Structure 1
């Protein structure tokens, strides 16, 4: 999942010293969540996550709003199960009324069934969008309850995923419930959100044979592993410990070293976005820019869980989030148009690159992948 409100960093040098010196028990990589942003994930990749990093469960994106179905949901569910791991799902919420929440739950439940999500799995509602940001806490609580009650009619267990800054602010998250995102990890001698089911502590974790960054969580209860049976356990316990510690250190360093970079671009908003006085969700709102607005920027930064851009204005600057910290553009689209190629049976990175006059590595890179990433029939790739 993307779009989380993370915690601000202070005293970076001191924090790093504390982290490296005191964090003998690194946050665990118990659960990974994946979506279409991660592309096709093979069984081998999930086996590697399990054996080398100690991942127990995978939560896959099922749907969003009332119409979007994640195209990778079915293959992710099948491949996670083939790897012998616990499988769950999540729905990215767009609802702003009780009726919309019930309708989205029906859509999510039906989509999950069709994709093969087993009865007894968790199907969480991911509540972090502008639609909920514009509602009162009471309204969000009402809508979340309606979604969760409806989703249970499909045989799934319910939960809420949201950011640490939204929990008990934008909505109520009681103890012994909830999956909370708050990072980067800072050594404190305590497990964050230990009274909740899960704590997501990074969105940039790396796995040995998988491309890109991943959301990882520590499980504080058996809620996301109950109701199903895991067939296998990690085979390399020493590697699990080392890899978990490395992931903690890398996550902290990335967020501690974030810097502004030049980015002179024009974006068109796909949805309404708040223009703020600073690159933080706690900064004051200058205006709410409607969908279709063209925004010219001069700089960008990954900060506080979002990808922020700076807009020069007549009296200073405005700041808006373009999407999650994974550097994807969820709220905006660039003015450039692309030409796509649909993968056919027997295709490879090399054959597609040759057919379109491209370098194989460049082709993979412009699609957010590497030449070692598996591609499969009917997948769409950008070739221009």
Structure 2
């Protein structure tokens, strides 16, 4: 086993949300907790754990690292997209940090017999929204049966459930749920060993979220005004330094998609220094350099067929 092997609990509405419960977990040398956040989709079961907000708050107060998971009911790519949107919406509402792991729990009878493509569709949506710490959970038997092809998974952070044995039984397992009967304060809790430290090695809450586009212009693209490059989502960008002053409140995001996580809402008369722009998905996007080699993204107006159709501020280009 790895040198880490720290304890990680996962909880849902079945477990308490009290401060004493999470203090009891910490006293048992538990280092992190994964809270069930959602299940299904907004147009389906629309389940949201009613205890999630308090469980997360009290877990943090007890000194535990916090992460969240979604219980999958999907069968098919569109279902997977819808469920990812529900997960993302509620993660944002609760202010889940990109330092936290966003895990997908796949174990329901309604899931596809061969579910790798559905899983990747879900994970990709979460990744595009600005959450880069992805993990996948299922029973060891589902991996053995080939229902999940680990070689094709978008994430290699595997969380495997296998009880009553001496090892998880799946290669490259990062988190092993070895029991569902770990006793804490009179309750039985699912407990896992963290082999790689992903969940239990304390990482500072970042002030910036990993981008959905490269942090630097590829070396094959000259860093000069007017040069073009494509980001990893295939959108074309043009390098141009300038300043944009907002004339209406606008969202600043961690990616150039309306589904990307929000950094802040910029008030009227905010001045944004940008270094590139792109016309895609109906908007004219500006890229704002930020600390640590990261970027913020702002929709400055609308576009149609590659031509700007509206502008929500004023430009002062530094050509």
> How far apart are residue 28 of structure 1 and its match?
5.5
Aligned to 1:144: 119
Distance 1:176 1:220, change over 3 A: farther
Matched, 1:64 2:43: no
Q: What TM-score results when the alignment is normalised by the length of structure 1? A: 0.47
| Partner SS for 1:159 | strand
Matched, 1:34 2:11: yes
How many residues are aligned here? 194
Q: What TM-score results when the alignment is normalised by the length of structure 2? A: 0.56
| Partner SS for 2:143 | coil
Aligned counterparts, 1:227-306, within 5 A: 228-229=203-204
> How far apart are residue 151 of structure 1 and its match?
0.9
- Segments of 5+ residues of structure 1 without an aligned counterpart are 1-24, 231-384
- From 123, 127, 131, the equivalent of 2:106 is 127
| Partner SS for 1:213 | strand
Matched, 1:177 2:152: no
Rg larger in structure: 2
Partners of 1:225 and 1:29 in 2: CA distance: 7
Aligned to 1:86: 65
Q: Is the 8 A contact 1:124 1:159 kept in 2?
A: yes
Partners of 2:36 and 2:196 in 1: CA distance: 21
> How far apart are residue 119 of structure 1 and its match?
2.2
More strand by share: 2
Matched, 1:201 2:181: no
> How far apart are residue 176 of structure 1 and its match?
4.5
Aligned to 1:166: 142
| Partner SS for 1:95 | coil
Q: Is the 8 A contact 1:33 1:215 kept in 2?
A: yes
> How far apart are residue 191 of structure 1 and its match?
6.7
More helix by share: 1
Distance 1:78 1:194, change over 3 A: farther
Q: Is the 8 A contact 2:85 2:125 kept in 1?
A: yes
Q: Is the 8 A contact 1:193 1:199 kept in 2?
A: no
> How far apart are residue 194 of structure 1 and its match?
6.5
| Partner SS for 2:96 | coil
